[in-house]
């Protein structure tokens, strides 16, 4: 596989690379890449044939969008690139923008129509373009009715300011409800889901993956290397690499658990068998999972990115996939047991029935 093994993103005509370039590291910030390093990363991704670039209004307080827009203009690549950005986090007051929470404008965040229009206009200005190809709801706000979100984003598709929209970080039922409303009303619906997914974070397989399959949404994993943990650069005895996990983790959780070290042990074994880096084996695993359309790679340096892109040419054997699947399996939740082979045999007179799409 290579980055030019394009595939449709969800039930849509938008064709994307199997690895998408995440640009959360672009711009000023503690564990980020400066402009020169960001340009090198962007160029290396393009040179490898990649066409899918993902940013957000919140990354580096808008600087990531500005850099991505500049690189696209410099390379004259707007028509080639599938450009995605996101709205949702508050632009006036949020710990993520470095501005303390409190006293901010409530209409500068969330998924209400008023904020979506404001956020998109600001993103288009920073990106220097008149449309984005995918507009992501970055995070569910728990407040705005799904009907309002579908109406607003569908109207923006019709207005030509966005080509498609998609959801990130939401309960599966929210994406499914949006998809159902859209198909019943014959209006544009979400085409993809962006969720945390890696060997150490597989909870979304229970509800999100089946919803994505049923709703025609491609799954796009973020943090497929668990923020650097699955590169193998940290170990049990020494977690003090200079990478982002050694400082305060902005995502709030620690990757350094006994379960995760055990997963890393198996990953290291598999990587050694393939004569590749653990990061490449971890990405190859994510890319090979059913339902995954395009996997987001993040990098702070161009060398990291080049190593990660090489994962596209690695394919794991069935035995290697199943060892990784077994060591990283999540505790089954209530709904997982409902579709188990045993229950299906009980329902279908002892026969093994394969459902459509399995
Ligand atoms: N929708 C969302 O809520 C959401 C959330 C998070 C991310 N994202 C998107 O997903 C993209 C990827 O997320 P992520 O950055 O968390 O992904 P990740 O692949 O799990 O982690 C990337 C980080 O790991 C380290 N790294 C990467 N490759 C390496 C290598 N070959 N060797 C050693 N270290 C390496 C680098 O950090 P250090 O060098 O500092 O260790 C790099 O910044 C982001 O850019 C963003 O577009 C979306």
User: 33-71: per-residue pLDDT in tens?
Assistant: 999 999 999 999 999 999 999 999 999 999 999 999 999
Q: List the residue whose alpha carbon is closest to atom 31 of ligand 1.
A: 304
pLDDT in the model for residue 133: 98
Q: Check whether 239 has a pLDDT greater than 90.
A: no
DSSP state of 330: P
Average model confidence (pLDDT) across the chain: 93
**Three-state DSSP state, 97:** helix
- Whether 255 is in the pocket of ligand 1, judged by its Cβ within 6 Å, is no
- Whether 12 is in the pocket of ligand 1, judged by its Cβ within 6 Å, is no
User: 283-331: per-residue pLDDT in tens?
Assistant: 999 999 999 999 999 999 999 999 999 999 999 999 999 999 999 998 8
Q: Residue 352 C-alpha to ligand 1 middle, in angstroms?
A: 40
Q: Check whether 218 has a pLDDT greater than 90.
A: yes
Q: How many CB atoms lie within 10 A of CB 6?
A: 17
pLDDT in the model for residue 1: 81
Q: Residue 339 C-alpha to ligand 1 middle, in angstroms?
A: 33
Q: Check whether 159 has a pLDDT greater than 90.
A: yes
Q: Which of 59, 165, 197, 234 is catalytic?
A: 59
How far lies 150's CA from each of 15, 24, 134, 182, 188, in Å? Answer: 23, 26, 14, 7, 8
Which of 324, 358, 274, 307 lies closest to 19 in space, CA to CA? 307
Lowest mean pLDDT among 28-42, 241-255, 283-297, 334-348: 241-255
CATH numbers and ranges of domains, the chain: 7-329 (3.20.20.100)
Q: Check whether 258 has a pLDDT greater than 60.
A: yes
The answer to whether 163 touches 83, Cβ cutoff 8 Å, is no
Q: Residue 304 C-alpha to ligand 1 middle, in angstroms?
A: 10
**What atom of ligand 1 comes closest to residue 230's alpha carbon?**
20
Angle 318-319-324 from CA coordinates, rounded to 5°: 100
Which of 211, 243, 207, 240 lies closest to 226 in space, CA to CA? 243
Per the annotation, the verdict on 197 as an active-site residue is no
- Whether 169 is in the pocket of ligand 1, judged by its Cβ within 6 Å, is yes
Q: Using 50, 70 and 90 to split pLDDT, how confident is the model at 147?
A: very high
Q: List the residue whose alpha carbon is closest to atom 42 of ligand 1.
A: 299
Lowest mean pLDDT among 78-87, 104-113, 167-176, 251-260: 251-260
Average pLDDT, integer, range 128-153: 98
> Would you state the torsion angle of the CA atoms of residues 189, 194, 199, 201, taken in this order, to the nearest 10 degrees?
-100
């Amino acid at each position: 596989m290579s980055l030019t093994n394009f595939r449709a993103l969800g039930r849509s005509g938008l064709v994307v690379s199997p690895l998408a370039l995440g640009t959360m590291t672009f711009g000023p910030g503690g564990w980020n890449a400066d402009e020169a390093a960001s340009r090198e990363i962007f160029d290396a991704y393009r040179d490898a044939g990649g066409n899918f670039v993902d940013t957000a209004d919140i990354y580096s307080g808008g600087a990531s969008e500005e850099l991505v827009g500049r690189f696209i203009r410099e390379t004259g690549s707007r028509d080639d690139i599938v450009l995605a950005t996101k709205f949702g986090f508050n632009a006036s007051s949020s710990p993520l923008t470095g501005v303390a929470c409190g006293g901010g404008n409530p209409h500068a965040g969330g998924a209400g129509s008023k904020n979506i229009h404001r956020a998109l206009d600001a993103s288009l200005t920073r990106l220097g373009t008149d449309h984005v190809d995918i507009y992501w709801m970055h995070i569910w706000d728990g407040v705005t009715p799904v009907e309002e979100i579908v109406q607003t984003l569908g109207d923006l598709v019709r207005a030509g300011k966005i080509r498609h929209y998609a959801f990130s970080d939401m309960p599966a039922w929210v994406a499914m409800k949006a998809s159902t409303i859209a198909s019943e009303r014959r209006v544009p619906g979400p085409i993809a889901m962006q969720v945390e997914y890696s060997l150490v974070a597989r909870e979304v397989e229970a509800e999100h993956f089946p919803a994505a399959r049923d709703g025609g949404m491609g799954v796009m994993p973020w943090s497929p290397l668990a923020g650097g943990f699955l590169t193998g650069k940290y170990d049990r005895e020494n977690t003090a690499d200079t990478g982002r996990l050694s400082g305060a983790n902005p995502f709030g959780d620690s990757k350094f658990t006994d379960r995760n070290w055990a997963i890393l042990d198996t990953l290291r074994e598999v990587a050694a068998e393939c004569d590749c880096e653990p990061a490449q084996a971890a990405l190859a695993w994510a890319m090979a999972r059913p339902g995954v359309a395009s996997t987001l790679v993040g990098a702070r340096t161009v060398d990291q990115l080049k190593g990660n892109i090489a994962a596209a040419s690695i394919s794991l054997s069935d035995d290697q996939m199943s060892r990784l699947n077994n060591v990283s399996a999540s505790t089954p939740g209530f709904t997982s047991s409902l579709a188990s082979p045993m229950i299906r045999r009980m329902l279908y007179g002892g026969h093994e029935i394969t459902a459509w799409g399995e």
